[in-house]
Structure 1
């Protein structure tokens, strides 16, 4: 009878461990389309936290990028153009550097001062991890309702019409 109890107890411990593992993985899982994203988007040039909640009722495009990433450097001027064309009443583009130093971020922020984007940095990649970033550029389109509308990894000129359609659809929804 004691052997049965020991086996039963070991089985229960394994089940509890498995549920704990599944719970831990779900906490760190990236939000999917239709879900609410993590509310912090890194830090700005002053070191202040960029909060997603500051852009309620706007479409928000968040892109994670780095200076060494060629496709990222081609994507930024396009997003800057979108921001210029649409203004900030309905749309906000936030470009977050991925795992680059604050010193490099500050130098880049000076170079990109003419871009009408909000620039942020995520030195240790903690925010990027919450968004499921594994490759860059990694773009997340967030609707006015605060939910993720689309996620895109990579960049190509051929993908631009699709991005524009998704942004227009997000802007048209109330």
Structure 2
């Protein structure tokens, strides 16, 4: 998680269309109001293969708190390749999304895989992490929970995780 870098100031996420697994064209704006963890991956990417189960577990743990993990395949073979591959990995909680022509990836400036971008409830990019991460680790979960709490009523009597009101400079500062 040390590779995670915060975007200062947060900037609007690109609204470049990509595909849901059923072929429906969507944009990130279609998911506004939720915290998004957008992950670009491919079936041929060894670090992606290691990371996908972690993202699947993160989705299980935090979906009820408002997180949506968008694992977006960059495979040129589209759903015919990516869908069966997710099943083979026993990754069932992540929806299938496709960016086969890499238009959304280019709009974000993705230069390697995996590449993960964190978007707040207002549709703004707040940070990114190039490369592999264990997103379901305590450190990863706490980072995401910080943004899940943003815009929520503050807990005045207690602060069980001793969280800060603004993100630290580095994820390891948690």
TM, length-normalised to structure 2: 0.72
User: Structure 1 residues 41, 110: closer, same or farther in 2, change over 3 A?
Assistant: farther
Deviations 1:8-53 (A, max 9, x none): xxxxxxxxxxxxxxxxxxxxxxx97600111246211221112212
Q: Secondary structure at the match of 2:71?
A: strand
* Other-structure match for 1:142: 119
Which blocks of at least 5 consecutive residues in structure 1 are unaligned? 1-30
Backbone CA RMSD of aligned residues: 2.5
Higher relative contact order (CA 8 A, sep 6+): 2
Query: Structure 2: which 5+ residue stretches go unaligned?
Result: 1-6, 152-174
8 Å Cα contact 2:86/2:92 also seen in 1? no
Answer with 1 or 2: which has the greater Rg.
Answer: 1
Correspondence list, 1:12-31, <5 A: none
Contact 1:50/1:120 (8 A) holds in 2: no
Q: How many equivalent residue pairs?
A: 144
TM-score, normalised relative to structure 1: 0.72
Cα deviation for residue 131 of structure 1 reads 1.0
- Alpha carbons 1:66, 1:100 under 8 Å: kept: no
1:76 to 36, 52, 70: 52
- 2:132 corresponds to: 155
